[in-house]
Amino acid sequence: MPITARFLQASCPRTARRVRRGLLAMGASLLMLPAAAQNAGQVVLAVGDVRMAGQAVRVGDAVRVGAPLHTGRDGYLYIKTVDNGFLILRPDTAAAVAEYQVDPAQAGDSRFRIELDQGIARHITGDAVKAARENFRFNTPVAAIGVRGTDFTAYADARLTRVAVLSGGVVVSAFGEQCSPQGTGPCEGPGARELFAGQPGVLLQIEKDKAVPELLQNVDVAPAGSPPARGDEPPAGQAAAQHAITLEANLDPVKSDRLDLIDNVATRPPLQWGRWRELAGEAPTLPLLELLANHKLAAFNPYFALLRPNDAPWEGRVVGAVDFRMQGAEAVIERNNASAYAAAVENGRLHVDFAQGRFTTGFDLVADGERIARKAEGRVFADGSFQNISQFLGNNNMLVRGALGQGARLHAAYLFQARLDDQRVAYGATAWAK
């Protein structure tokens, strides 16, 4: 039985009904989300002055469709798109992901448009774009760029566009009657020109008021004095999906000036956890609807959720026993199934014996002027999940459902719930790292 189902089954009937209603409501909301509300990807590196819609950008931020992106004189921005592609902005660049709508059921209905107003950008085609190249457009102020399954770099200002191809090919056309900036896909008219990789030192250039792009040789894509690429950009000629960007586990301080392109277990994204429901007027701490697009639920309760990335399965390979340190926690106490208020979690401990497939955990729940000790023990499973059976059996006074993750550090997270007395029930989430 899936972890979520086991968790619901173990809950009281009233809680189970509420959770099921909540899931159904979230599913309906997800279906009604407009395309414009979707995120195009996630920031994996932000160095120097980097802003989105005027706000400073941090590693891990979601890139909103339509939000203006700006890098300052020292700014570099790397974005991993939702379909495993990359968009890289170098200094003094203004751009936006105007549309990034992925339709997994009907690839032909997917739509993509990126706008480069000025500066230098590199785009590496993602999986969904490869399946719907006819619906991908990269606009500059004077030209439309379409792809043939491509890794390319473009420079743009108000009067000039230059395009160099690192892998695959592009088709470039000046805007005009046969090529509108609002169009979808490449412009294939008589004024279009193609360029493919394998022609060292060759690029396409189109100037304002010129009808046809021209081929240039031995010219840099950007004018002299433009900022160079960082040394950690993905190598040319390899699929972006082969270069897993190291996102430091969200349990650790992020080092945003470093990017490791190493395709191994250390590059896997971390577990995601937090409060999905509003509490006392405070917004949720977990964007559950967004995460469901590429995560699966590992545990769920009326206030909190724990999700595992689809592309980060647990592989084990851990021997012996590990003592984890608590890195973060949130808790809520609900009184008489009505009012709810926050509680603190202190003195956490989590011990996992991988050889025996067992765990023990505990902490102090602090609320209402009292300190309430909670503890649990149970089994660890081959898929990286762990749980106990009941808060009322054995050495347990709370119910735990959790998951283990392998990323920049071995980490874990779990949800808990516990009936404290005949009036109060506690719900919470905890995060741990080795």
Q: What is the CATH number of the domain that holds 190?
A: 2.60.120.1440
Is the same domain home to 216 and 274? no
- How far apart (Å, rounded) are the C-alpha atoms in residues 368 and 373? 14
- Is residue 324 classed as helix, strand or coil in its secondary structure? strand
Closest CA to 84 of 137, 44, 119: 44
363-379 pLDDT tens trace: 999 988 899 999 999 99
Give 300's Cβ-side CA count (13 Å radius).
26
Question: In the listed set 204, 227, 242, which residue is the last one of a domain according to the structure?
Answer: 242
Domain span holding position 115: 38-242
pLDDT the model gives residue 6: 41
Backbone angles phi, psi at 380, to 5 degrees: -110, 130
Domain identity same for 150 and 186 = yes
Q: How many residues does the chain have?
A: 434
> 289 and 307 in one domain?
yes
> Could you tell me if residue 254 is inside a domain?
no
Nearest partner of 115 among 209, 169, 40, judged by Cα: 40
What does the DSSP assignment read for 252-266? S---TT---B--SGG
Which tens digit of pLDDT belongs to each residue from 296-355?
999 999 999 999 998 888 877 787 899 999 999 999 999 887 788 999 999 999 999 998
Whole-angstrom distance, CA of residue 162 vs CA of residue 158: 12
**Number of domains the chain is built from:** 2
Task: Please tell me whether residues 84 and 9 are part of one structural domain.
Answer: no
Statement to judge: residues 270 and 334 lie in one domain:
yes
Q: Are residues 7 and 56 in the same domain?
A: no
pLDDT mean for each 10 residues of the chain (434 residues): 42 48 46 53 89 91 94 92 91 96 82 96 91 93 90 94 92 92 88 85 90 88 77 60 34 31 51 89 86 90 92 81 93 86 94 94 92 96 92 92 87 95 93 92
Are 259 and 232 contacting, i.e. CB atoms less than 8 angstroms apart? yes
Q: 253 - beta bridge partners?
A: none
